[in-house]
């Protein structure tokens, strides 16, 4: 693996010191995650002469926005083998999760920290990149996707290193590709979907028309990606609190066309309605419901989508249950839950119930446990039914009547059973 080196007093950092210009450097706000003892041990093991290690990416971005941080990524000029050796020497477990691309995971005290060596792209084909390792921080920043993801922080001083005006973009809630958007997308077509995901989560300012055009022009390249990568990124988009505006832009610009021809003509409106109902009735985000909001109400077509995107069997089966539920009402929503589960019934109501029925449908499911019919075949035999197919047929009739009467208690179940047994015996006697 090749390596470029551009050393100097700042270890290859071309960014002129803001302090030297009389401008106070931006400091990362203090946050609880920075005080983790395991993290401090990892940082101490990676100390080098190149100005690192540094925090990079999501932890920096989200801390600047005052958002919670879950994953902590670290950039270093040290080569992967050196990273592994140093971690192990410090008693820290080192996992070579993507060592050919410079990534090592440090596992300590129940937490994982992803550590990646500074890189530059040597070759790309829209799906993967061949990289060379570097000691140049700006060169590493230049290969990242968006300006707001190319922010680095010195853990000791808290100074933010910003090579492409990402701080201004973050403040303006503006999402920009680094450099030429068409080139960034050609390097990895998944960046199209990432663009709309980050737009949904961090956008809100002026839309970059050039970026949208580049995404539209490169959408054909999504066919080169694995279905799993597409499904994972689409799931992340749909799992956000409110992806409606981003999804609408995706539809308008033909982003779904290469991989989701089953998209409903009313997908944007259906998703908007679902998201509004979630907010109005304080319901959690349901990924199966979000997916179905985009698709035609065709079980066969939807199953093809699930197969093509290699969604889980649980998700695939869940699509079918929700579509077969029909139109939920306050009078049948518990029956839908009984035939599938509470989540299926709730999603069906959120998706397909008329506006005035949604509150009562949800109320019917609130704090309701799916009951079990207490009547068994042996009890029907003791009532006089001959063993055999008639027992199973009568049990089905009892179950249907029990559901229709909204799942009455055990005493009423027995009354229904007696009625059904007597009716079955009468028919059986007539046939004989």
Q: pLDDT tens per residue, the chain (432 residues)?
A: 455 444 333 444 544 444 434 456 899 999 999 999 999 999 999 999 999 999 999 999 999 999 999 999 999 999 999 999 999 999 999 999 988 889 999 999 889 999 999 988 665 554 565 668 889 999 999 999 999 999 999 999 999 999 999 999 999 999 999 999 999 999 999 999 999 999 999 998 889 999 999 999 999 999 999 999 999 999 999 999 999 999 999 999 999 999 999 999 999 999 999 999 999 999 999 999 999 999 999 999 999 999 999 999 999 999 999 999 999 999 999 999 999 999 999 999 999 999 999 999 999 999 999 999 999 999 999 998 999 899 999 999 999 999 999 999 999 999 999 999 999 888 767 665
Phi, psi of 242 (to 5 degrees): -145, 90
288 within 8 A of 323, measured Cβ to Cβ:
no
119 within 8 A of 77, measured Cβ to Cβ:
no
Taking the C-alpha atoms of residue 115 and residue 46, their distance in angstroms, rounded to an integer, is 10
The conformation of residue 221, written as its DSSP 8-state character, comes to G
Chain segment 27-79, per-residue pLDDT in tens: 999 999 999 999 999 999 999 999 999 999 999 999 999 999 999 999 999 99
Chain segment 290-332, per-residue pLDDT in tens: 999 999 999 999 999 999 999 999 999 999 999 999 999 999 9
Quote the pTM value: 0.86
Chain segment 178-203, per-residue pLDDT in tens: 999 999 999 999 999 999 999 999 99
Which residues lie closer than 8 Å to 17 by C-beta, 6 or more apart? 25
The conformation of residue 261, written as its DSSP 8-state character, comes to T
pLDDT confidence of residue 308: 94
| 230: region left, alpha or beta (phi > 0 left; psi from -120 to 50 alpha) | alpha
What's the sign of the alpha-carbon dihedral 231, 237, 243, 245?
A: negative
Residue 253, exposed/middle/buried by CB under 10 A (0-12, 13-18, 19+)? Answer: middle
Residues in the chain: 432
pLDDT confidence of residue 101: 84
Cis peptide before 103 (omega within 30 of 0): no
Which residues lie closer than 8 Å to 209 by C-beta, 6 or more apart? none
Which residues lie closer than 8 Å to 370 by C-beta, 6 or more apart? 337, 338, 341, 342
**Three-class DSSP category at 282:** coil
- Alpha carbon distances (Å) from 130 to 73, 76, 119: 21, 18, 10
Q: Which residue has the tokens 């997908």?
A: 267
């Amino acid at each position: 693996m090749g390596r470029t080196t551009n050393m100097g007093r700042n270890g290859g950092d071309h960014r002129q010191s803001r302090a030297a210009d009389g401008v106070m450097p931006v400091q990362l706000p203090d946050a609880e995650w920075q005080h983790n003892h395991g993290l401090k041990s990892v940082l101490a093991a990676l100390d080098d002469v190149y100005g690192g290690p540094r925090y990079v990416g999501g932890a920096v971005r989200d801390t600047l926005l005052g958002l919670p941080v879950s994953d902590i990524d670290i950039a270093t000029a040290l080569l992967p083998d050196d990273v592994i050796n140093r971690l192990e020497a410090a008693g820290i477990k080192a996992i070579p999760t993507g060592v050919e691309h410079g990534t090592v995971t440090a596992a300590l005290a129940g937490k994982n920290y992803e550590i990646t060596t500074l890189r530059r792209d040597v070759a790309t084909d829209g799906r993967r990149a061949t990289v060379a390792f570097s000691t140049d921080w700006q060169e590493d920043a230049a290969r990242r996707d968006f300006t707001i993801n190319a922010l680095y922080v010195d853990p000791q001083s808290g100074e933010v290193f910003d090579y492409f005006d990402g701080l201004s973009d973050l403040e303006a809630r503006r999402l920009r590709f680094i450099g030429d958007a068409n080139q960034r997308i050609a390097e990895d077509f998944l960046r199209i979907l990432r663009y709309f995901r980050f737009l949904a989560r961090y956008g809100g300012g002026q839309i970059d028309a050039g970026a949208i055009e580049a995404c539209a022009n490169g959408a054909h390249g999504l066919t080169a990606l694995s279905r799993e990568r597409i499904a994972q990124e689409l799931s992340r988009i749909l799992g956000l609190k409110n992806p409606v505006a981003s999804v609408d832009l995706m539809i308008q610009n033909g982003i779904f066309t290469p991989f989701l021809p089953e998209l409903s003509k009313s997908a944007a409106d259906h998703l908007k309605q679902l998201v509004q109902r979630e907010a109005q009735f304080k319901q959690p985000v349901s990924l199966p419901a979000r997916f179905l909001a985009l698709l035609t109400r065709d079980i066969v077509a939807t199953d093809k989508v699930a197969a093509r995107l290699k969604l889980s069997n649980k998700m695939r089966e869940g699509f079918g249950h929700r579509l077969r539920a029909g139109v939920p009402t306050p009078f049948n929503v518990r029956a839908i839950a009984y035939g599938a589960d509470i989540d299926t019934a709730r999603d069906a109501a959120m998706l397909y119930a008329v506006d005035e029925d949604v509150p009562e449908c949800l109320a019917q499911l609130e704090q309701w446990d799916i009951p079990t019919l207490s009547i068994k075949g042996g009890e029907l035999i003791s009532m006089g039914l001959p063993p055999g197919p008639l027992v199973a047929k009568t049990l089905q009739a009892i179950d249907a009547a029990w559901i229709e009467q909204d799942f009455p208690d055990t005493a009423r179940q027995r009354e229904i059973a007696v009625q059904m047994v007597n009716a079955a015996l009468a028919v059986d006697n007539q046939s004989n």
